[in-house]
Amino acid sequence: MDKFIITIARGFGSGGRTIGQMLSKKLGVEFYDKDIIKMASEDSGINEALFGQTDERTKGGFGKPSVYKGGVITPDKRAFTSEENLFNYTAKVIKRLAEEKSCIIVGRCADFILRERSDTVRVFVWADEDHCVKNAADVKGIFDRKEALKVIESTDKARAEYYKAHTGHSWNDARNYDLCLNSGDLGFDKCVEIITEYIKIKLK
């Protein structure tokens, strides 16, 4: 199979990250999630903690970031460590990874950043409330249903606001993606199978 990139946007508790790891093992390619933040910090020289503060969430309000247009702000500018430029460096890393090799990238608006690449398959994974609550218990150890629902709602809200701020689009709009998969109905293994087959069809 020729080089390909899979981007995975996911609702909290849907298992999108797990599906990405399963794909990585099945297809023999690298998997990237939070390590992108470390790479962006090393590339920019900006403290990794600053990237962590706006990782898949936006501060909003005054000085909120504009839609990503490419490029980075140089160190001599006041906005060098702004929320907008932290995203710019994250995007720079994502673009570099996509150029170098086949890989799987979770979150961080990678579908938007790589939207013009023909070798990219953009996936959105979601699940119904009960499955998300169960996965929150299995993966995060959140066993109280009310607490789990609160975390699910707040995390998805933050991801949606982050996506809107940096892309100008709605995070859960199906038009942003090649595939939208209900992992609650399909299960993780079937999601992996469908994505794998879709890659073969799209990239011939």
Percent of the chain at pLDDT > 70 equals 97
pLDDT of 136 reads 87
Q: pLDDT tens digits, residue range 118-127?
A: 999 999 999 9
Provide the pLDDT confidence category of residue 63 given band limits of 50, 70 and 90: low
Q: pLDDT tens digits, residue range 66-111?
A: 899 999 999 999 999 999 999 999 999 999 999 999 999 999 999 9
Contact partners, residue 135, CB within 8 Å, separation at least 6:
13, 14, 15, 127
Mean pLDDT of the chain: 93
The CA distance from 196 to 64, in Å, is: 37
Q: What is the architecture, at CATH level 2, of domain 5-203?
A: 3-Layer(aba) Sandwich (3.40)
Q: pLDDT tens digits, residue range 142-161?
A: 888 999 999 999 999 999 99
pLDDT of 66 reads 85
pLDDT beyond 80 at 56:
yes
The CA distance from 80 to 87, in Å, is: 11
Provide the pLDDT confidence category of residue 62 given band limits of 50, 70 and 90: very low
Percent of the chain at pLDDT > 90 equals 86
pLDDT beyond 90 at 141:
no
Say if residues 121 and 178 touch (Cβ distance below 8 Å): yes
Distance of CA 203 to the CA centre of its chain: 22
pLDDT beyond 70 at 61:
no
pLDDT beyond 60 at 9:
yes
Quick check: pTM over 0.75? yes
Domain boundaries defined on the chain: 5-203
Contact partners, residue 66, CB within 8 Å, separation at least 6:
84
pLDDT beyond 90 at 24:
yes
